[in-house]
Structure 1
Amino acid sequence: MSTVPVVRSADSEQDQRRAAAALAAAGVRRGDRLLVSAAASPALLAVVLGALRTGVVPVVLDPGLPAAERAALAEDADAALDVGDDPAQLLSGSEQAELADVPLARPMHYTSGTTGRRKGVWSGVLTDDDARALAAEEIELWGFDRYDRHLVLSPLHHSAPLRFAIHTLLAGGEVLLPGPFDAARAAEAISALRPTTTFCVPTHLQRLTARGDVEWSSFRRLVHAGAPCPEPLKRAVLEALPEGSVWEFYGSTEAQFTVCSPEDWFAFPGSVGRARPGRRLETDERGQLWCAVPRWARFEYWRAPEKTAAAWRGERVTVGDLGRIDDDGVVWLDGRREDLVISGGVNVYPAEVEAVLDAHPDVVESAVFGVPDPEWGQRVVAAYVGDADVQELTTWARERLGAAKRPKGLHQVEELPRTSTGKVRRLDLPGALGLDGA
């Protein structure tokens, strides 16, 4: 197979020290933000970890963002330095800086918002004790050690893939970077390179299990999240992999809530397991899930105090998902929020896509929703009122939205269904358009 970059902990540590020295020389200080929007590479991991281990907070953006969206996020992040798609520029010097044993912060990721404005998830710089507790929690939960070979299947601008890669390196293991997900390339990497761990979303699993030629026996831990996993697919993965190796969790960019072991899933199929260690889950009168988290897992929404206040009640936080907790402490999701579409493990908020479509001069209004898709879990679809040509509107969206957010179907309608109070009934649109069985 073609060469797959292998990031070894000791080699990466030297690059992390060079990155930290370069950041200091550039005047980037503890608590400052470093903007980076690059594809997965050894340099990206070194720069992110070199920043984190000196208290600099990397703001990791999708390298595929349209220019206007990236510019808006860059302005909002107010970074001390922007290295764009070339983190390796920080590794060219010979000077090395001292590093803390563990990250002193969490990366800042932007998560989509129901109002259409993306929110930065900001944790600031942690105390030394909290930083150690945060790293220890992640390493102990998944059992990372120096013998691990972690396969990266998801983009590193998402929080979970980056978190798994970082903590593998901190534990002394190796990280394999086969590039953007391709089922054939991933299958070859799994069979040839014998990874021990990976993080993935159900779309990856669907594509890989469909091949029938993947040698799964090297895995001790395959962890999936990001979207509901259909029960037949989950059973196929459990059957294909070594006993005890397939785990699941429920969480978000903001916080981690549950862990589901294979034993719990077999006992309670369709659940998302129990509260992660150190967490406590409960529901409110609306069925909304709230989670009490330890001090080191707290966050705020960057420069959005009203959104932060709405998300927290004391030590408890919610991201708005609905669910149930049974008498055994097992958590069941009652569907994600109405305004959320999860496509290939990526959260897509209709309001964000609607804002782009509504900006077209020939669109009066639009409504975006998800429909079932056997490969992606859901695909994004839009209905709109107006005279815009479908092909022209498709081009308009392609130029302004990232790939996951672009509608895969556009439907011109006379009017949108509404409640008596005037709210658009997004959930009625699939049936009205004959897409509810799609």
Structure 2
Amino acid sequence: MNLYDLLARGFPADRSRPAFLLGDGGEVSYAELEAGAAQVAGHLLARGVRPGDRVGLQAEKSVEAVTIYLGALKAGAVFLPLNAAYTAAEVDYFVEDAEPAVFVTDPRSFLAEAQAAAPLAQAVPRADDDVASLIYTSGTTGRSKGAMLSHGNLAANAVALHRAWGFTPDDVLLHALPIFHVHGLFVALHCAFLSGAPMVWLPRFDDAQVIAGLARSTVMMGVPTFYSRLLANPQFTRERAQHMRLFISGSAPLLESTFAEFEERTGARILERYGMSEAVIITTNPLDGERIPGSVGYPLPGVELRIGGGEETGVIEIRGPSVFSGYWRMPEKTAEEFTADGFFKTGDVGRRDLDGRVWISGRAKDLIISGGYNVYPKEIELVLDELAGVTESAVVGVPHPDFGEGVVAVVIGAGDEASMIAECRRQLAPYKSPKRIVFVEDLPRNAMGKVQKNLLRDRYTDLFTAG
């Protein structure tokens, strides 16, 4: 079915119930959301948008933006969300590549125009394999690729997460994530919609606003930076979090030190999960059961996960109902990223332990080959992050005249470089230990909080070769 129909089935019978609880004390009901989506769908059809046409949106987070997303689904269009921070030149590439029939930059004005159209009563029928959304990847290793996520992909993942995380109509989701990415747009919204649950709707993460929002929430989804910033605020106390049933973290690795400090402060153990644009959520720690820091848990029901090459540690490969069909207008790239038996090569390096839990070592492109040996940055970062004076670390390989690549640790914090390297050598094989440690005030991150190691490699590329 059309994904819209699945989501609307979860809306509360009493449509006057709030869908969004706004910061100013206002509310937007499910009835208003549903009516707005019908107006948008009717407006798109009146403008000549046909099933499969792309509808682009580049705007700040808002209820209006969500309404346009749902309206595009209902009309059978392919939703194309873009980061509001993209430059005109970046947007030109996406528009040229996706060729949207409609491109919205002012959601409020668009909704005002839509009021003149006849609302669409029934969603346009869609098949499971019809594309519902184009999500462009970050493009750190070349031009951005549009991952084609189908109605069936998104429906399967939404249902699996709704069950795995125990959502009910009694939940209230604190939503402080952006909605141009799968985390805030699909993972968070779909869990709430399938429950008919309200969301505390924040335009962006602000620790004071989040702390205030916790008072009327039961579940929070965030990136690791959200949790470290909450811990840095003395107003974030055990009392503030005591009625919350679940804190979920994803989009970037959660430091074990953050996990431990959060549990000590609140008594709650953060639930970490693993996902990506091409498959939404792949694994999750259990709702009921042990959540082990550093592990991203078990594959969701229906997801097959294996380690490529038959090694203990290697590239994670996946197959299942939520895995995308391919990259938009890139058949060669699509063929390259899938195995002959239909598994998608994620590019993430990891392993599965005897219990079946998944542990991520890093990205395959971040693998360092130093002196002919494979070095996985995560193993070194775990050692560094436990050292006194270190808040967070990122390990990269840069050109080295003797070893091919030299291991460089970029560290937020302070300390003595020589003694820290010596400590690493006590815990790690010499070829794994950093040859240099650079101290910085912050690490470059993308919009979802992931450290951009490509920028670090560029920044320190001459560290061993200059002069």
TM range (shorter): 0.7 to 0.9
Give CA-to-partner distance per residue, 1:214-236, whole Å, 9 cap, x none.
31133222211111111121122
Distance across 2 between alignment mates of 1:427 and 1:284: 32
Contact preservation (8 Å) 1:134, 1:297: no
Q: What is the percentage of aligned positions where both structures have the same residue?
A: 31
Quote the residue 1:150 is aligned against. Answer: 173
**5 Å matches for 1:32-431?**
32-86=53-107, 88-91=109-112, 92-93=114-115, 95-100=118-123, 106-124=132-150, 126=152, 133-163=156-186, 164-191=188-215, 194-214=216-236, 215-241=240-266, 243=268, 246-255=270-279, 256-261=281-286, 266=291, 268-285=292-309, 287-294=314-321, 296-313=322-339, 314-339=341-366, 371-373=410-412, 379-380=443-444, 429=461
Change in 2 beyond 3 A, CA 1:80/1:218: farther
Contact preservation (8 Å) 1:231, 1:270: yes
Contact preservation (8 Å) 1:311, 1:318: yes
Q: TM-score, normalised by structure 1?
A: 0.73
Quote the residue 1:3 is aligned against. Answer: 24
Larger C-alpha radius of gyration, 1 or 2?
2
Contact preservation (8 Å) 2:218, 2:244: yes
What SS class does the counterpart of residue 249 from structure 1 fall into?
A: strand
Q: Give, in angstroms, the shift of residue 113 of structure 1.
A: 3.0
Q: Give, in angstroms, the shift of residue 377 of structure 1.
A: 11
Letter in 2 for 1:80: A
Change in 2 beyond 3 A, CA 1:432/1:62: same
- Report how many residues are paired: 368
5+ unaligned residues in a row in structure 1: which ranges? 343-349, 351-368, 382-400, 412-424, 434-438
Q: Give, in angstroms, the shift of residue 143 of structure 1.
A: 2.9
Q: Give, in angstroms, the shift of residue 181 of structure 1.
A: 1.7
5+ unaligned residues in a row in structure 2: which ranges? 1-21, 368-376, 379-395, 397-407, 414-439
Q: Give, in angstroms, the shift of residue 132 of structure 1.
A: 5.2
Letter in 1 for 2:82: L
Change in 2 beyond 3 A, CA 1:87/1:170: farther
Contact preservation (8 Å) 2:136, 2:146: yes
Distance across 2 between alignment mates of 1:84 and 1:78: 15
Contact preservation (8 Å) 1:199, 1:222: yes
